[in-house]
Chains A and B, each alone.
Chain A
Amino acid sequence: MNRTNLIDHAVLILATLFMVLPVLVAIMTSTHTAVDIHSNGLFLTPAGHGAETYAAVLTRQGGFTGQVTGTRMMINSLILGVGFAVGKIVLSMLAAYALVYFRFRLATVMFWIIFTTLLLPLEVRIMPSYQVMSELGLLNSYTGLIVPLLASATGTFYFRQFFKSVPDELLEAARIDGAGPFKFLIDVLIPLSKTMMAAIFIIMFVYGWNQYLWPMLMTTDERFFTLMRGIKQILQVWVGSQIPDYNEAFALAVLALAPPVLVVVVFQRWFIKGLTESDK
């Protein structure tokens, strides 16, 4: 190994600053008042208004109907994020299990069909999806928000690769030990793919959490608004001589940042294992 020198450190520090500074600016600025921000721009130093801003953002009733609070939006985002992640893991794991362990005709064809949908982003099929949900009467519901996005080519692909790396002898040993297909999945495969599930959970949670376009289409009822929409909402009040609530927008942004960061921090050990470790 080379000895680390000054330049190595300088590069790392620069890169870190590059990533962290904007976040820091957001956090610091959110502790100033809106007027302060409006007249002086962004801050790198803290001020004393943090507590009241965050309290206001989380509890004040806002929106047109005056019914939606920051907490409500956060809960909605969480439901969306967790629902996405869990649903996708379950669905893609079952799909991959069928593809890898059951010999049925067209399995390969099916896999490639699933795989090619990776190339299609949500936006391409957003109108038909909306149409279907609307006709099923699922607009303005959590089901409608979550279910249409559950099918996951990425997840299926990851699980398929992982299942393929599980040695065949393990399946054979389980067969001789009297474990049927269902038991094998529950007793052997699921415990083995814990790290894989953690990795996919992170990816999918962040993906779900950050959804903007789909919730905006699907929900008109403010009770279902997510944080992502909330931030937008605040900046839209640019009417007359009113100063936009920059501080609240920043506070919401920081709040929106927190859960994904938390998830990543908690799961990161498994996450890295899941993406790098092929066996076990």
Chain B
Amino acid sequence: MASIQITNLSKTYPGASGPSVADINLSIRDGEFIVLVGPSGCGKSTLLRMVAGLEDITGGEIHIGDRLVNRVDPADRDIAMVFQNYALYPHMTVRENMAYGLKNRKTPAAEIEARVAEAARMLELRPYLDRKPRALSGGQRQRVAMGRAVVRQPAAFLFDEPLSNLDAKLRVSMRGEIRRLQKRLGTTSLYVTHDQLEAMTLADRLVVLNGGRIEQIGAPLDIYHRPASTFVASFIGAPAMNLLDAEIAGGTLRLGTVEIARIATAAQGPVSLGIRAEDLSIATQGLPFRLDFIEELGAQRLVHGHVEGQPLTLSLSPDIAISDQMHLAIRPGALHLFDTNTGKRLSLPESERQQIHAPA
């Protein structure tokens, strides 16, 4: 068990024009569950693999506990990794798979057996201990992979998209299992995923990566409610946050011809306006909305349409009647403003905003 300290970390692959990962500063507390999330190619796996020692570090430092591990062999970093495709040794039984790492570390046989038995009990793998991986289902294989990590009792778990190869239903239940296991063992964990839902549900803290850089670090709900940029806003949350081209003129936020809110700011000019789908509701007056189509999700429905020529999605309860032309109201305090050029969040004190229900 240990903290992980990442300082100014960067990685440039030989022959590449720019760094794949740059300026990473991250401090992970002991026992914390950190999820690295981002679209494919954002460098999240590279970052994880550098912590694991599977990729060389171009610049910066990684400390696990008090130890600088930049040049330490993966085997000696006291970490265990769970891979996307499980990476179980196909010719070994479940028991041998779990014991292999311990055997290589010259752990006494009695202790290996005890630890494997304990992990098997915890992960409900006892009936399968003498089977080969190919005789197991995807979920069971993933549990074996986790068991292999657990028996090592490492300072940190590293998960590289461990649930991507499972079907949707299994993914949800395994997600719960990983969370429960981590809580119970209290082992520091670093988890990579491209699935924002997985990220939201698992993380103590989320790290959103984009283009090899950290876009935002924070607790899942903080990030959800206060995304630091348009990228984070559109990446975290399903459906994605609506981003509309709006304008501030004379202390008023306008969307096309419609006035949305009064804002006490000296700023002028175009901004990106972000609104979550669930922060919109149907009203007798407000934003004029033209319906395109509806996606039924059961508990709710996603209504897609246009406002002032810009696409917009809202999430409504299925029992609300819908017509082709409607007016929308925005929940007070649910506006997110972003700089149009940089995409960065514009912070405006909540009290200075005032909702207007302007006539259409």
Q: Taking the complex as formed, is A38 at the interface, i.e. its CB lies under 8 A from any CB of chain B?
A: no
Interface, chain B (partner A; CB < 8 A): 52-54, 73-76, 79-81, 83-91, 100-101, 104-105, 134, 148
Q: Which of these binds chain B: A119-127, A138-146, A154-162, A176-184?
A: A176-184
Residues of A within 8 A of B148 (CB): 173, 177
Query: B75 to A178, Cβ gap below 8 A?
Result: yes
Q: In the complex the two chains form, what is the Cα distance from A280 to B90 in whole Å? A: 7
Query: B100 to A172, Cβ gap below 8 A?
Result: no
Pairs A–B under 8 Å by Cβ, sample size 19? A167-B87, A169-B83, A169-B84, A170-B87, A172-B52, A172-B54, A173-B83, A173-B87, A173-B88, A173-B148, A175-B54, A176-B52, A176-B54, A176-B81, A177-B100, A178-B75, A178-B105, A179-B75, A280-B134
**Given A170-B89, A187-B100, A280-B90; A177-B75 close (CB under 8 Å):** yes
Cβ-closest chain B residue relative to A169: B87
Cβ-closest chain B residue relative to A192: B91
From residue A201, how far is it (CB to closest CB) to chain B in Å?
A: 18
Residues of A within 8 A of B100 (CB): 177, 179, 187
Q: Is the interface of A mostly helix, strand, loop or mixed?
A: helix
The 6 A-B pairs with the shortest beta carbon distances in the complex, nearest first, are A169-B87, A177-B101, A178-B75, A178-B104, A173-B87, A191-B91
Residues of A within 8 A of B80 (CB): 176
Q: Taking the complex as formed, is A188 at the interface, i.e. its CB lies under 8 A from any CB of chain B?
A: yes
From residue B170, how far is it (CB to closest CB) to chain A in Å?
A: 20
Query: A172 to B90, Cβ gap below 8 A?
Result: no
From residue A34, how far is it (CB to closest CB) to chain B in Å?
A: 54
**Given A170-B87, A192-B90, A280-B90; A177-B104 close (CB under 8 Å):** yes
Query: A176 to B75, Cβ gap below 8 A?
Result: yes
Residues of B within 8 A of A187 (CB): 89, 100
Cβ-closest chain A residue relative to B83: A169
Residues of B within 8 A of A179 (CB): 75, 100, 104
From residue B104, how far is it (CB to closest CB) to chain A in Å?
A: 4
